[in-house]
Structure 1
Amino acid sequence: MFSRAVLLLFVLLQSFWLSYGVTVYNQAGPMNPTATSGSSGSQATLGNVGWISALNAYNNVRLQPPALPSPMPSTSFALVLPNQAQHMSGLSIPQRGDFYGFSIEMSVVEQVIGKNASFIQVPFLNLLAALTDRGNDVRIRVGGNTQEMASLVNSLPNNAMIAKDSSVVTGSVSTGQTPTLDYTTELLYLLANVSSLVNAKWYLGIPMNDTTHLRLQIAELGDAILGDNVLGYQVGNEPDLYASHQRRPDTYNVQNYFDEFGVMVNGIHDDKQIKNANKLVAPSLQGTWKAEDLWATGYLDAYSTSISVMAMEHYPDQNCAAEFPNGGFGDIKDPQTVFPNYLTHASGVQMVQPYLNSAGIAQQLGKEFMMFETNTASCGGFPGVSDSFGSALWAVDYGLQMAYSNFTGALLHVGGQNVSYNPFTPPPTNLSLFEKWTVGPVMYSTIFVAEALGTSNTSRVVDLNANGGNEFTPAYAIYEHDTLARIALVNFMTEQGGVGSYNVTISVGGGTTGEATATPAQVKVKYLLAPSVSEKDQVTWANQTFGGRFAADGRLSGTEVIQTINCDQSANTCTVTVPAPGAALVFVSAAAQAGDDPSATQTYSTTAVTNRVATMTIDPTALAHSNGHMGDMPLAGTSKGGANSATSTHAMLSYSRLFYLLFGLVQALFWFR
């Protein structure tokens, strides 16, 4: 009897301790006050809880689709395409199926990839498996602004893998400050274990904040632990923003960077523990400096033997005023106003235009040319835009435009809970026992582009300037092994009054192409669809979905539907309808049709959870500077910024404590009755 009483007391104390362990800091940064709020699909009830919807990753902003263009583009047009690449002008260099990858901020690795080498986030593995099944592998960069202040340490309290030291910070108070980020070798073993399960390849970041005391350990150990799974080492992140972020003097310029990069290169080559000293990624300019101004210093002549990837980082817009009202970014932008800017072919064309010359230089030097970090808008994106189906169509068009323009890859940035553009977001730690991940619409774009380019590494892309070059109905042809294999069709319009969809009549060979007719007896089509461009949750690829908010485990669910369209070979035509909005991937060649469905994807499951019910920790400190994210993730936020106050959710936590205390009491009475 005495022992039962002791156990009962222990359970009650444990219940009280668990409930008391709830910690919620201030609600994350403000959303755009001019945006319109509304319900958000199947998880609207949860999303309407104040502290959840205050996180931009789960915002309830639902925009109005733009009106149909005036004048309307033709809703019926023809594409006459040669069957052989030799008769098609303007084709890109051969592209790989892993064209789209991910850029993951170093500070949020624990939440996105895994807590340690033994605890890997299963939804993350499943998402990667979906891509590697379609593109052979997936390229991932771990770094960003937080790599610049990262230091390897032997160990951290509580066996942590990553921790921040807020006693040492850099950056501007108005635009966020970055503390030192400490990490252990466990991080690299985690990445190695991911690569052992799915074919993931990594880019790692070497800090460049202090060129008098080089910290090269991540490259030394990266080579030793990850081996060939390391694709390269990014040396410095956005050096053209060092001055504005108060990491260098205001006078810092391209020549200063040229000199400092030389110090880094020499140090890396002198370090005998680094086996891949010629696999550097640079210069990773954000756009404040023109690339041509840096090339004019002789940068490429001096360092091209050490650089394997010429990299740039660019976003089409920024939402910094909403996150940093006192940061000098002007007026807050209205998402409804900027939304149409993403629903046009012109956006992708304008994005690549400044880099066409540099892409050509990269080809001459035999280098890869990558958009190393990108997404819809810096400073976290626009709620209602960055997490809408419109962003998926934008990313499909943008990705294929980059491929056509001879980029060799692009990495979509992944931030924390307070960004709206994430391809995927794990639930806040306090919900991780009973909620799943949230997969953003742009994740579907990576699947589309991977299937469009295939696994042969021979795909060459051409912008067809379709429908008289109309900006709402772009189309691309993909030639594989020098034969027409696939056609990608995009429709940026949303149907209104039964108007918006369009029909494309495709003819292969014959006519003006100088070839015999080669239209197949039938084509297969996969559709990327949603009810409107403003939709957030009901997105499907070939009728399959990752699920809505807090509903994804990283696997596509539902019955796959591949449309078969019979062609008129006597007329040499096939007619394909593209819904409004939507994108269609048309499989033309026999080889493409035979391989249009990936093999059964290896998926993963687990019963493990990230924490006990009551370790509810949300620390929404500002983690953004320029391009990256305004990303706040629990456990490992890395930038000094917002006030950490629990007052706004004090009442909610009081109820939580009472709930867990009562739960413990009922549980104890049940055990010891």
Structure 2
Amino acid sequence: MVSGLLLLYLIAQCSLLSHAVTVYDPAGAEQPTGSSGSAAPGATLGNIGWISALNAYNNVRLQAPPLPSPMPATSFALTLTSQAQHMAGLSIPQRGDFFGFSIEMSVVEQVIGKNASFIQVPFLNLLATLADRAIDVRIRVGGNTQEMASLVSSLPDNAMITKDNSAIAGPVSTGQTPTLDYTSELLYLLANVSSLVNAKWYLGIPMNDTTHLRLQIAELGDAILGDNVLGYQVGNEPDLYASHQRRPEGYDVQDYSDEFGVMVNGIHDDKQIKNANKLVAPSLQGTWKAEDLWATGYLDAYSTSIGVIAMEHYPDQNCAAEFPDGGFGPVKDPQAVFPNYLTHASGQQIVQPYLNTAGIAQQLGKEFMMFETNTASCGGFPGVSDSFASALWAVDYGLQMAYSNFTGALLHVGGQNVSYNPFTPPPTNLSLFESWTVGPVMYATLFVAEAIGTSNTSRVVDLRANGGNDFTPAYAIYENDALARIALVNFMNEQDGFGSYNVTISVGGDAVGEANAAPTQVQVKQVSIRRYLLAPSVSDKDQVTWANQTFGGRFAADGRLSGTEVVQTVTCNQATNSCLINVPAPGAALVFLSSDAQAQENPKATHTYSTTAVTNPVATETVNPTALANSNGNSGTFPLAGTSKGGANGANHHFTSLSVSWLSVLLGIVFRLW
């Protein structure tokens, strides 16, 4: 008989496209897949020193900030017109795929898949869950590591990506990133993802050397991905080139504008690139003002080549904690910055410097995106970036960007050295028997997708509710020129029974010729978090639910929502022309103002990819080769790495891959001998 350990070894070497993954522990015992009831294993693992030392699984639990003083009114009214023509300040029409993801190029193998034959099942499920609400998902593969990436024909041990840290000149604290070598397998991997879920891609063209252009990723992207390529980002954070020692000291907006012109000419001269007018730029981080770059004539010269005007912004940074000797000043206390993420002012302050550029983008007919963002650079703040506060912050921030005429925003995904990830695979030495960890900000993507809807006609307005109070923001969404949904956020944490608030919503009757139009019923969904089924808290991490459904706690997620969806029906008072909505503390409510709006946006059955467990350790049947071609094993022996905003870089990655045909034969033999 073949032992369980041998079978474990064989499966650990396999890499195949997956509709299902078989999960074993070292002894071959059955292991649970991710569910709402699987938090205990993750909680136990989180207490292991080396695991909790990884920021993605830290055990930092902060104290919830006290209730504001003075307290905002906990009962207030919103009187809205039912027609968009009577509502001032509406945004441009927005898309349901407003929130997408920015994935650091160096962690593609771990997050997306090891190669074109091995796609991470939880990643597919997460995309499917969001795409079901947004039609598609926009994903950028790039970041700091795209600048040093080079296409090669092959790599040792059939690897798809490898790193070379020796190319870094100077200390890692300078923010430099390693050289990446990658093969065409990367593009085939992305194409296979798109064949399974409706994923669209932004790819990064390196700009570190404008004398020897490396445009192969665009050439292959067009050839392999076709219409699933949304655009090519040319250069990443050029305003940090000098500080990262990629350009001489004094490198300025004019230098960059001139070099960008070299890139544009080279791209247009390359006849293999069909999307030469779908470039994404300038992707400023904020060191330079956008207006200073526009003053060089940048947009006048290159607007015909630019499809997306892009910026990148994090509201804070935790770099001193990540690099104590990097010259970033004193280490910031997460407890001290915690309240900054529990206020409507945060999103308003982030978008304010970009309002002028948003207007310019509209005039030019361009998309305007926040191309990389999250709670804080250099990995985020443990206890903040992975708490429920980050979910509420992202809901408000996302809707504030939509209201401010951004056309999309990409939440950054790094490695295990960051705490802000929307989702994180387990450490590889646990990947055979532990599942993924889904961060609270992932739930915000579902909320915003359902709030905006799928019609591509939704227009968002900040209602400045409750006298413009920062703790009780509200947004209205008009779809097809009619009021469809209202989003209500409560940043307060319940204390001694105080903190929740009631909103009385009245619709219609405030415009000339408009009759009262209070809906008979209001459909309510809530984002809420409850720790041990007790009082909810903004500092909790694991028990996040969306309409009573959850991805599960740490090491307990397979990318599918579990639990019964709960949609509350609130009967409105026709006599007073009003509907009373309660918003828990903390929490957010999405109010559907008609049964049609609810029916349209209510997610249909999501096609996801299931996981399985060993139930019969003495199975003797062979594996059908067709079924095997759609199955999956576990991968690699490498740690996750990250390069976001100066994050630590992992060692070189090498893998061993087996072909589908050889694996079919191998597993057939194994099961016959078992």
TM range (shorter): 0.7 to 0.9
- Contact 2:427 2:640 (8 Å CA) reproduced: no
Deviations 1:579-599 (A, max 9, x none): 000000000033212224211
Q: Which residue of 2 aligns with 1:333?
A: 332
Equivalents in 1 of 2:40, 2:538: separation in Å? Answer: 14
Residue 573 of structure 1: which of 578, 581, 591 is its match? 578
Equivalents in 1 of 2:342, 2:585: separation in Å? Answer: 12
Give the AA of the match of 2:400: Q
Shift of 1:143: 0.2
Equivalents in 2 of 1:231, 1:47: separation in Å? Answer: 38
Q: Which residue of 1 aligns with 2:288?
A: 289
Deviations 1:533-567 (A, max 9, x none): 00100000000000000000000000000000000
Equivalents in 1 of 2:73, 2:107: separation in Å? Answer: 46
Equivalents in 1 of 2:602, 2:290: separation in Å? Answer: 40
Q: Which residue of 2 aligns with 1:618?
A: 639
Matching of residues 260-275 of structure 1 within 5 Å: 260-275=259-274
Q: Which residue of 2 aligns with 1:410?
A: 409
1:98 and 2:103 matched: no
Equivalents in 2 of 1:96, 1:596: separation in Å? Answer: 13
- Contact 1:170 1:179 (8 Å CA) reproduced: no
Matching of residues 119-134 of structure 1 within 5 Å: 119-134=118-133
Unaligned segments of structure 2, at least 5 residues = 14-38, 530-535, 613-630, 655-672
Q: Which residue of 1 aligns with 2:609?
A: 604
Q: Which residue of 2 aligns with 1:111?
A: 110
Give the AA of the match of 2:550: T
- Contact 1:77 1:505 (8 Å CA) reproduced: yes
Deviations 1:211-241 (A, max 9, x none): 0000000000100000000000000000000
Give the AA of the match of 1:583: A
Deviations 1:240-275 (A, max 9, x none): 000000000011000000110000000000000001
Matching of residues 98-497 of structure 1 within 5 Å: 98-170=97-169, 172-497=171-496
Give the AA of the match of 1:397: D
Shift of 1:173: 3.5
Residue 582 of structure 1: which of 572, 587, 612 is its match? 587
Cα distance change of structure 1 residues 446 and 191 upon mapping to structure 2, 3 Å threshold: same
Equivalents in 2 of 1:197, 1:119: separation in Å? Answer: 13
- Contact 1:172 1:245 (8 Å CA) reproduced: no
Equivalents in 1 of 2:169, 2:488: separation in Å? Answer: 46
Deviations 1:124-169 (A, max 9, x none): 0000001111011000000000000000000001111111123322
1:58 and 2:79 matched: no
Shift of 1:174: 2.5
Equivalents in 2 of 1:394, 1:41: separation in Å? Answer: 27
Q: Which residue of 2 aligns with 1:558?
A: 563
- Contact 2:178 2:649 (8 Å CA) reproduced: no
Equivalents in 1 of 2:86, 2:634: separation in Å? Answer: 59
Residue 540 of structure 1: which of 545, 557, 564 is its match? 545
Shift of 1:609: 6.0
Equivalents in 2 of 1:270, 1:321: separation in Å? Answer: 44
- Contact 1:419 1:631 (8 Å CA) reproduced: no
Give the AA of the match of 2:102: S
- Contact 1:416 1:633 (8 Å CA) reproduced: no
- Contact 2:203 2:217 (8 Å CA) reproduced: yes
Partner SS for 2:271: coil
**TM-score, length of structure 2 as denominator length:** 0.87
Equivalents in 2 of 1:172, 1:516: separation in Å? Answer: 68
Q: Which moved more, 1:586-595 or 1:125-134?
A: 586-595
Partner SS for 2:516: coil
Equivalents in 2 of 1:513, 1:569: separation in Å? Answer: 20
Q: Which residue of 2 aligns with 1:593?
A: 598
Shift of 1:515: 1.9
Equivalents in 1 of 2:286, 2:538: separation in Å? Answer: 29
Cα distance change of structure 1 residues 476 and 41 upon mapping to structure 2, 3 Å threshold: farther
Q: Which residue of 1 aligns with 2:525?
A: 526
Q: Which residue of 1 aligns with 2:66?
A: 67
Q: Which moved more, 1:540-549 or 1:503-512?
A: 503-512
Equivalents in 1 of 2:383, 2:195: separation in Å? Answer: 37
Give the AA of the match of 2:418: V
Equivalents in 1 of 2:512, 2:587: separation in Å? Answer: 29
Equivalents in 2 of 1:417, 1:88: separation in Å? Answer: 45
Deviations 1:155-213 (A, max 9, x none): 00111111112332256542343221000000000000000110000000000000000
Partner SS for 1:515: coil
Root-mean-square deviation (Å): 2.2
Q: Which moved more, 1:302-311 or 1:585-594?
A: 585-594
Shift of 1:635: 6.6
Q: Which residue of 2 aligns with 1:31?
A: none
Partner SS for 1:357: helix
Give the AA of the match of 2:107: V
Partner SS for 1:107: helix
Give the AA of the match of 2:99: Y
Cα distance change of structure 1 residues 489 and 513 upon mapping to structure 2, 3 Å threshold: farther
Equivalents in 2 of 1:309, 1:120: separation in Å? Answer: 29
Q: How many residue pairs were aligned?
A: 604
Give the AA of the match of 1:211: T
Give the AA of the match of 2:564: T
Deviations 1:48-72 (A, max 9, x none): 1111000000000000100000000
Percentage identity across paired residues of the two chains = 81
Give the AA of the match of 1:366: G
Unaligned segments of structure 1, at least 5 residues = 19-39, 638-670
Give the AA of the match of 2:354: Y
Partner SS for 2:310: strand
Cα distance change of structure 1 residues 260 and 171 upon mapping to structure 2, 3 Å threshold: farther
Shift of 1:45: 1.6
Partner SS for 1:277: coil
Equivalents in 2 of 1:634, 1:511: separation in Å? Answer: 64
- Contact 1:62 1:535 (8 Å CA) reproduced: yes
Give the AA of the match of 2:199: A
Shift of 1:571: 1.1
Q: Which residue of 2 aligns with 1:28?
A: none
Equivalents in 1 of 2:541, 2:640: separation in Å? Answer: 26
- Contact 2:94 2:458 (8 Å CA) reproduced: yes
